[in-house]
Amino acid sequence: MTIAIAPPELNLNILHQVWTPASWDSFLAISENPDYDKAKFYYYHGSYFLEMGVGSDHAFDNDFVGFLINLYCMIQKIPVKGFTNCSYRKQGIQECQPDSSYYLGDHYPKGSSVVNLDLVPPPDLVIEIADTSINSDLGIKRLLYEEMGVKEYWVVDVQSLKITAFRILGNLGSDRLSTSQVITGLPLVLLEEALQRSRDSNNAQVGAWFMEQIKT
């Protein structure tokens, strides 16, 4: 469920999946309100988006895609560091809290505070798990991540179990991908089949199948 709150008042009765205009200070006041300590916040071009609570399929797919990425990187000896619901902020301009994000190599953020993108580079890979937010994930959030400078952006559709992946271009814009360039050589169709199998099998069963596909 996504809740949009019109600043400066916090209206708990507004339940729309929309980007709501707000100043940066109003956005910070809303995001720091203790009533929303479990919410996810995004800010882009003078508007914010708030997500609060997810269903079991969304939660499972987020965990499971991370499980597969870690398996693949372990077998292929790719150095990776993954983060769940990590907050990234460019002061006064942007904020996001993707479902999952990954840094490749030995350089990644540390500490308990929001990641300051004025001091730390953005993640190499960002993943959003899309259920009711699919239009925003493929639209405005993609633009946000283009401007943020991530290298690759995936949207996992909970309903269709399809993955739409983009390579972010250095001069803004993005190209569609069928094979990840950040998680080198990982075909997205393999992840999609694993997601399909996960609906009827447990993680150990699908993980064993997935590793066999990687080795062949």
Q: Are residues 93 and 21 part of one domain?
A: no
In the numeric block, which tokens belong to residue 179? 């094979």
**Residue 206 clears pLDDT 90, i.e. is over it:** yes
Q: Are residues 183 and 101 part of one domain?
A: yes
Q: Are residues 194 and 97 part of one domain?
A: yes
> How wide is the angle at C-alpha 132 spanned by C-alphas 183 and 11, nearest 5°?
120
Closest CA to 179 of 165, 198, 159, 161: 165
**Residue 12 clears pLDDT 60, i.e. is over it:** no
Distance from CA of residue 97 to its chain's centroid?
7
Domain span at 76: 56-215
**Whole-model pTM?**
0.90
Domain boundary among 17, 33, 53: 53
The share of the chain scoring above pLDDT 70, in percent, equals: 92
- The answer to whether 94 touches 43, Cβ cutoff 8 Å, is yes
Checking DSSP bridges between strand 163-168 and strand 40-44, what pairing results, if any?
Answer: unpaired
In the numeric block, which tokens belong to residue 205? 């069963």
Q: Are residues 104 and 2 part of one domain?
A: no
Question: Cα(36)–Cα(10) distance, rounded to whole angstroms?
Answer: 10
State the total domains in the chain.
2
| pLDDT, average across residues 123-136 | 93
Distance from CA of residue 195 to its chain's centroid?
17
Question: Cα(165)–Cα(175) distance, rounded to whole angstroms?
Answer: 8
Closest CA to 103 of 120, 81, 83: 81
Tens of pLDDT along 145-189?
999 999 999 999 999 999 999 999 987 899 999 999 999 999 999
DSSP state of 211: H
Q: Are residues 103 and 20 part of one domain?
A: no
Across the chain, what does the average pLDDT equal? 90
> In degrees to the nearest 10, what's the CA dihedral of 16, 22, 26, 28?
80
Least confident of 88-92, 111-115, 129-133, 201-205: 129-133
* β-bridge partners, 174: 168
> Which distant-in-sequence residues (6+ apart) come within 8 Å of 98 by Cβ?
85, 86, 88, 123, 126, 127, 128, 145
Q: Are residues 45 and 124 part of one domain?
A: no
Q: Are residues 5 and 94 part of one domain?
A: no
For residue 98, give the CATH number of its domain: 3.90.1570.10
Q: Are residues 79 and 41 part of one domain?
A: no
pLDDT category of residue 5 using cuts at 50, 70 and 90: very low
